[in-house]
Structure 1
Amino acid sequence: MAVAVLTGLGGVGKSALAATAAHRMRGAFPDGQLYADLRGAAEPADSADVLTHLLRSLGVPEGAVPDDAGQRGALFRSLLAGRRVLILLDNAHDTAQLRPLLPGTPGSAVLITSRARIVGLPGARLLDLEAMTERDALAMLEAIVGGERVAADPGAARRLVAACGRLPLAVRIAAARLAARADWAVADLTARLGDERRRLDELEADGLGVDAAFRLSYQSLDPHTARAFRLTSAAAVPVFGRTTAAVLLDIDEDAAEDALEALVDAGLLEACGIDRYRFHDLVRIFARRVLDDSPDAAERPAAQRRLLDHLLATVTHAVRRLRPHSDLPDLLHPASTPGHRPADAEAARAWLQESHQLIRATAEQALGKGPWEDLGEQALRPAVDLLTGWAHLILGTARRRELQGPARLALAGAHCHGDSRSAARALRLIAAVPQQGADTYPRIERALRQALRFAALAPDPLTESEAAHELAMILAAMGRSAEALPLFEQAYARHVELGGRGDAVRVLAHVVRARMLLGDKERAEAAADEVLRSARELGDRSTLGHVLYQIGCALLAGGRPVRAAAHLRESRQHHQWVGDLRWEALAWARLAHCALARERPGEAAACATQALSIEGDLGDAFCRGLALAARGRALLALGEAPALSALASLRTAHRLLSARGAAEADELTSLLWTAPPAPRRPGVPPGSPSRGAASAARAAL
């Protein structure tokens, strides 16, 4: 006997699919089909009563149906012996309800639908139904509404089915509402669905409703599981693990996992990996609705604050593992929970890798983003410091772009509550995040100077030290090393005072580079050896990689390209090991310039290509400009590629570096003015606009 079980949340189309399948298979079961609604999502039908219904469907007179449930089952099996019958048992409650209804005879088959996961039937094939694909959802919408209305605004149609979570019931209701309102455009209903608090109300028509479909499953939960359903919806993300659930519910992780698995079994939560659970978008909205209407609503802010503090504590521990000699952890807001302590640096990186979305979304939630959000003034500093600690770990990666939105929320919150400390830290984050369009050093300089002003008001030693260091770096990058040097020295003194040995050594490496750029070569080279020795003693590969990079740049500026290359190669290896892509790419770009200084254009081109390959995911205009400048010069020196290609690289590099305000742009300006024109192509008359790439480049300056 074949048994198949279709499971999935309410409204996903289990019954419709089962009915369609039964219709298509009627030829394979010539002795007929039997159907019974087991009412599993409401008041489950008694198996004995269902057997009576099935026996009557098989032609047994009412008076011939045995009174004993066991005898009814025996009669049912005997009647099906030797026959080929398909039995459709719709909306089953659990295994106990189903067992008496299975004939157990060869030839027949049973197709079962259930919101709950039916796992106790030997030999049964379990099929989990998911939401429709976008293509299928649009096809359903078009079939009901009409192709012309959908084609008139395909973007709105895609947004509509997305707002419906591509759930068949929701799409069907939305389509029915549109069909009944010929004066509505698809965009009109899409706009109405945009408000999450009203969305479930909009998805009701002709006695059908998404809320009602979910409520049947919810009402079947025991009190403990129902509480878990409500409070886990308070998480800022739809996908989470048992640790997040445990923190929100304020219970141990094993109990949290049991509750989550019970929700999976009830069809209200999806298991999407090892220790990963996901709310369907509409189910999450429903869960938040029932949370609002329950006594647990008063507990939601405390649950969300527990999660915020848990993440802040864990990020702080991760910083200690990954930046062991930084003073940052001691300057973050103290968390009220112990958090998770990664065993080592590798464990910290693994935790961080799977927690980025949760960190960002939780901070945004605390800062007031979203219809159910905003934990108030008391959550401002923990949220800002969660972002500050996270930023410390991701600024060398492509994820640093993700800081832009929450950083601006943090600044707005700081201004709203008059919190100078939070404003200072938020401005540091804004300065660190690449902006859309031409991102300039002057913009960063303004943000950091403003951060320092707020830090002085607070006072905030973290911003006073870090923003002074970062401002000095920006000034040096603009060719203003004389202004940068006292700020570097100020930052160094502050880090020493705070006990951040790693941070202090990093700043000293910048001091070495600034002195070299100011012409104090002897003093710079003497200090370089001492700084490098201190960095090696710390045993922190991130700090060592940073120090090696700065000293390598100083040596290159001082006319020592061989020694510079040795430092930069080692720097690149350390940055690669810790996963800091930005500094790895910068090291490759500087190595390209070392190779040029040693008249090795082939090596320079290869290094520049490596830098550009890594930078492609980062969006770092300075790094790209630096690498393109080296590539263009290398191609010109090689003479193998068309001069037009080389000069195109130089022109792009000049545009990027000059727009940013980098000092390196000045050298390119001179180079582009003196570069030889590209050879004239056959058939192009002298003096034409295409005569040479150099002419075009100069015209662009």
Structure 2
Amino acid sequence: MAAARIVELCGGMPLAVRIAGARLAARPRWTLARLAHLLHDERRRLDELAAGNLAVRAGFAVGYTRLAEPTRRTFRLLGLLDAPDFAPWAAAAAADIPPEQAERQLEELIDAQLLQETGTEPHLRYRFHDLVRLYAREHAEAADEPAARAAALERAFGAWLWLAEQAADQVPGPCFAPIHGAAPRHPMPSGVAAALLDDPTAWFDAEQPALNASARQAAALRMVPMAWELAACQEKYCDVRGLYDEWRTTHLAALQACRAAGDDLGTAVLTRGLIEVTTWTTAADGSGATVDLPDGTQTMVALDDRARHLRGLFEQAGEPRGTADALVLTAWSLVAQGREQEALDAARQALDLATAHDHPGGEARAHQIIAIAYGETDLDRTIEHLTEALRVARLIGNTRFETTAIQFLGAAHGRAGQVERGGELLLRSLAMARSLKDRYVEAFSLLYLAMLYAATGDDRARETAEAALAIARRFDLGHHLAQALGILGELDLAAGDHAAAVGHLEESVLVWRARGWRSFLAEALRALGRAYEAAGLAESAARVLEEARELSDIR
């Protein structure tokens, strides 16, 4: 273990590993763990990697001293970045030089063996070996004033932020209000920006690791507005791509910085994002853990308190569009608890606020949750509000929410007995979700299709539900998981496979308990009761059916 750690801290560089071995050979009383400990400190690592006439630092100096000073400066300033790799435009921003000059200097650094090239034309990227980065930072601290170093970081982070905001505007994702802060932007030349943002999602694909690293570095350096804006501008992309762990960890790092600095707006925006990602997905380890929630707390029940707290944060920050978003989240929680009238009241408040403050995304979300609150009790109004949500989604060009609205409309038409129309809409939403590579929405479309197929005796029901289940397990989507298990359990029961039905439905009940969605839990308990009865487990059946009755009686 210690030996592997030494190689890792040497970055696998043969010269560095050779020096580490020479130091150990000359000190037979040293343990591997001792050297690993010494190398762990970045400030001393290059000092420790010297033995006799061998030194890593000396090897780097050969290339560095041959460079012209402008290229040396760019090398030093780029070494300040934590980003794992970067494009030429980022180097231009950090050094505050034209992109063409940056590209020439990057090539000189490659020739000097101080930089590595990655990617392929026309999307070349560059990265430092970890030890070379430390060498660059040493020279930056010695040669460049603190203000110059801070300005270089601010320009690089500002360039990432400026591009990310424009890219995010074109990525279809959650319809939250786009709320910005006071972090300085560093605009790119129009021609460079146009080429980079020709495919916004592809830009995020390339830059997301660098954006995450930059947000965390800004948080560590107490560049608080920069940190939270770099984190927040990634939400739509992370949602569409299913990068939920990256979303959580970067938001948490930036949120800690916001709270420490008393940045009310940043705290509100990041809290909103964290509520969204932790309400609808679970931790990657499958624990179901949710940020800031005690063990055993039901997710959808806790959402009520969390959304009310979020509303207070946005009101304190003076951001009514954020308040509208918080009210929509409150409405979701109330629907899950079976408090439909209260949910309608909160959603209508959200709709009024979003309309008054030019927040069409908030209007679309409010219409969606109003439709869900009406549910099957008034399918005409359900379809009316979903149709309006679809209209607004198309108006703002958000194809992700358009897909969601079509999906819910398909389900509503199916429940209204319009099977052909419902199936047509659901297949369209499925195709759109797959085109967007949006696994969250894809899984929901599959679930509603599976339910429609099951209700009409279509043999495609099982394979469709299994496809949704696979996505739910892969991306830790608790709601989708519970629903897919419930559909499969009902299909098992209809097929006479009682043992499989019990297995699927017991797991479905377990997940619904953790989520705290009362109507879904009651439905799953009733199905499990039927499965227990069919399997000859009368006592177990009586127990779960009684619990289902108690849940249904609560108003």
Q: What TM-score bracket applies, with the shorter chain setting the length?
A: 0.7 to 0.9
Contact (CA 8 Å) 2:502, 2:532: kept in 1 or not?
no
Structure number with higher helix proportion: 2
Q: Does 1:607 align with 2:467?
A: no
Q: CA deviation at 1:335?
A: 4.6
Instruction: Give, in angstroms, the shift of residue 563 of structure 1.
Output: 4.3
Q: 1:76 — aligned with what?
A: none
3-state SS of paired residue (1:239): coil
Answering whether residue 471 of structure 2 is matched by residue 622 of structure 1, we say no
Task: For residue 254 of structure 1, report the CA deviation from its aligned partner.
Answer: 1.1
- Tell me, yes or no, if the aligned pair for 1:561 and 1:597 is still in contact at 8 Å: no
167 and 194 in structure 1: CA distance in 2 versus 1, 3 angstrom threshold: same
Question: Compared with structure 1, are the counterparts of its residues 445 and 181 closer, same or farther at alpha carbon in structure 2 (3 Å cutoff)?
Answer: farther
CA distance in 1, matches of 2:161, 2:135: 29
SS state at 1:240 partner? coil
Preserved CA contact (<8 Å) 1:472 1:483: yes
**Aligned equivalents of 2:48, 2:242: Cα separation in 1:** 39
Matched, 1:470 2:326: no
Identity of aligned residues (%): 30
Residue 16 of structure 1: aligned partner: none
In the other structure, the counterpart of 2:92 is 246
Within-5 A mapping of 1:263-662: 263-274=109-120, 275-295=124-144, 297-323=146-172, 328-329=177-178, 331=180, 333=182, 335-339=184-188, 341-342=193-194, 347-368=199-220, 374=221, 376=222, 379-434=223-278, 435-436=282-283, 437-439=287-289, 440-516=299-375, 519-536=377-394, 539-555=397-413, 563-600=421-458, 602-639=459-496, 642-662=497-517
Do the aligned partners of 1:589 and 1:608 also contact (CA within 8 Å) in 2? yes
Q: Assess if the C-alpha contact under 8 Å between 1:317 and 1:342 holds in 2.
A: no
- Structure 1 residue 346, shift from structure 2 partner: 5.9
Structure number with the bigger relative contact order (C-alpha 8 A, sep ≥ 6) is: 2
TM-score normalised by the chain length of structure 1: 0.69
How big is the alpha-carbon RMSD for the aligned residues of Structure 1 and Structure 2? 3.1
CA distance in 2, matches of 1:455, 1:492: 16
> Offset at 1:240?
1.2
Of the three residues 519, 523, 526, the one matched with 1:667 is: 523
SS in 2 for 1:277: strand
Q: Secondary structure at the match of 2:207?
A: helix
Q: By how many angstroms is 1:532 displaced?
A: 3.8
| Residue aligning to 2:295 | none
How far, CA to CA, are the matches of 2:344 and 2:29 in structure 1?
68
CA pair 220-443 structure 1, distance change in 2 beyond 3 A: farther
The answer to which of 642-651 and 576-585 deviates more is: 642-651
Deviates more, 1:333-342 or 1:260-269: 333-342
- The 1:192–1:309 alpha-carbon spacing in structure 2 relative to 1, beyond 3 Å, is same
Question: Would the aligned equivalents of 1:239 and 1:278 in 2 still touch at CA under 8 Å?
Answer: yes
User: 1:268 touches 1:283 (CA, 8 Å); kept in 2?
Assistant: yes
Per the normalisation by structure 2, the TM-score is 0.86
Between the two proteins, the alignment pairs up a number of residues equal to 525
In structure 2, the residue corresponding to 1:271 is in which secondary structure?
A: strand
How far is 1:456 from its partner? 1.4
Match of 2:64 among 218, 228, 235: 218
Deviations 1:41-70 (A, max 9, x none): xxxxxxxxxxxxxxxxxxxxxxxxxxxxxx
Closer, same or farther: CA 254–443 of 1 in aligned 2, 3 Å = farther
Kindly indicate whether the alpha-carbon contact (under 8 Å) linking 1:513 and 1:551 is maintained by their aligned counterparts in 2. no
> Equivalents in 2 of 1:474, 1:396: separation in Å?
23
Contact persistence 1:516–1:524 (CA under 8 A): yes
The residue type paired with residue 624 of structure 1 is L
Contact 2:447–2:464 (CA<8 Å) still a contact in 1?
Answer: yes
**Alpha-carbon distance change, 236 to 447 in structure 1, aligned in 2, over 3 angstroms:** farther
Shift of 1:334: 6.6
Distance in 1 (alpha carbons) for counterparts of 2:168 and 2:252: 23
Instruction: In structure 2, list runs of 5 or more residues that go unmatched.
Output: 290-298, 549-555
8 Å Cα contact 2:181/2:266 also seen in 1: no
Residue aligning to 1:193:
39
Q: Tell me the distance in 2 between the aligned counterparts of 1:332 and 1:553.
A: 39
SS state at 1:479 partner: coil
Amino acid in structure 2 at the alignment position of 1:625: A
The Cα offsets for residues 575-611 of structure 1, whole Å up to 9 and x where unpaired, read as 22223221111111122122223333x3221211221
1:384–1:410 Cα contact (<8 Å) kept: yes
Q: CA offset at residue 523 of structure 1?
A: 3.1
Aligned to 1:172: 18
- Post-superposition shift, 1:445? 4.0
